[in-house]
Amino acid sequence: MIGHQTLERLRPTIPFQAAMLALTVMLASAALSVADRVTRRPIAEAVAGDTRASLAQVLPPGSFDNDPAADVLNTSDGGIPVTVHVAHKGGVPTAVVLATSTRGYAGEIGLVVGISREQRVLGVRITHHSETPGLGDKIEIAKSDWVASFAGRHLSDPEPAKWAVRKDGGVFDQFAGATITPRAVVAAVKRGLALYRREHEQWFAVRKP
């Protein structure tokens, strides 16, 4: 250990200051890289768990035996990136989950849409949004069961003109005081179904062994 007096003498000198700063930065970097190593696996697992949990909400349990969270394709629909998760059972595709986004009243709304091979909606969940609390946030399943009204829908059920909120002559409820948010979500789900109809053969073809 250096004596107290030596330290007093060294402290004002530039090389000592530079060395101290460098040492601190090095130690900090070392600590961070160790931490990164230790936490990388648990974090990756936790994130994958999040994806799995959100996929499980829109896929019927037991309808798949692969890990759709890992079975990923990337495509885009009118410039909006769409992530396609394919669910298989016994090597046969049973359903897909589209993770996509749309523009709501106050920024991006992220949503996952589960679609069966019969081209029906299995379920819709909102993954993130910044809509007005108390008005537009009724798209969350925790606040209202509005998103459940999509289950079982098909591009022709209701007929295409009725794929809209009531205010626009459609069949889906809007919320009191907030029309833009549900309108955006309805349109996004409809787009997802149309995308499936156009592209699902390609998606499944990629998977064929």
Partner 1 sequence: MNTYRKILREGLWDNNMIASQLLAMCPAMAVTATATNGLGMGLATTAVLVASNTLVSSIRHLVPSSVRIPIFIVLIASLVTLVDLALNAWLHELYKVLGLFIALIVVNCGILGRAESFASRASVPRAAFDGLAMGIGFTLAMVAIGAVREIVGSGSLFAQAQLLLGPAFGFLELRLFDGGALLMVLPPGGFLVLGGLLAAKRALEGARRRKGAVVAQSA
Partner 2 sequence: MSAPQHSPHAHDGGSVGRVMAQVMLALTPVTLWGFYLFGWPAIWLWLITVGSAMLFELACLRLAGGGRATLGDGSAALAGWLLALTLPPWSPWWIAVIGSFVAICIAKHAYGGLGQNPFNPAMVARVALLISFPLEMTQWVSPAPLFSGLGPDPVAALERLLFSTPIPDALTSATLLGHVKAEASRGVDLLASVPALGASVTDGVGRHAGSLGETGSWLILGGGLFLVYRGVIGWLVPVALISGLAVPAAIAHAIDPAHHLSALHQVFAGAALLGAFFIATDPVSSPASAAGKLIYGLAIGFLTWVIRSFAGFPEGLAFAVLLMNACVPIIDRFTRPRIYGHGPAAGRGA
Interface contacts to partner 2, rule CB under 8 A: 105, 132, 135, 167-168, 176-177, 179-180, 183
Which of 67/168 has CB closer to partner 2? Answer: 168
- Residue 48 binds partner 1, judged by CB under 8 A: no
- Residue 35 binds partner 1, judged by CB under 8 A: yes
Q: Which of 57, 83, 132, 179 binds partner 1 (CB under 8 A)?
A: 132
**Do 170 and 186 meet the contact criterion of CB atoms below 8 Å apart?**
yes
Which of 11/167 has CB closer to partner 2? Answer: 167
Going by C-beta distance under 8 Å and a sequence separation of 6 or more, which residues neighbour residue 89? 63, 64, 65, 66
**Do 59 and 122 meet the contact criterion of CB atoms below 8 Å apart?**
yes
Candidates 36-44, 58-66, 73-81, 152-160 — which segment interacts with partner 1 by CB under 8 A? 36-44
- Residue 28 binds partner 1, judged by CB under 8 A: yes
**Which residue bears the tokens 């509005």?**
146
Which of 46/206 has CB closer to partner 1? Answer: 46
What backbone phi and psi angles, to 5 degrees, belong to 63?
-85, 0
Which of 122/164 has CB closer to partner 2? Answer: 164
**Do 119 and 113 meet the contact criterion of CB atoms below 8 Å apart?**
no
**What is the largest distance, in Å, between two alpha-carbon atoms of the chain?**
87
- Report which DSSP code applies to 39: H
Distance (Å, whole) CA 157 – CA 81: 26
Residue 206 contact partner, candidates partner 1, partner 2, none, CB within 5 to 8 A by sort of partner: none
Count of residues for the chain? 209
Least Cβ distance, residue 54 to partner 1 (angstroms): 12
Three-state secondary-structure class, residue 110? strand
Residues in contact with partner 1 by the rule CB under 8 A: 4, 7, 11-12, 16-18, 20-21, 24-25, 28, 31-32, 35-36, 38-39, 42-43, 46, 49-50, 132-135
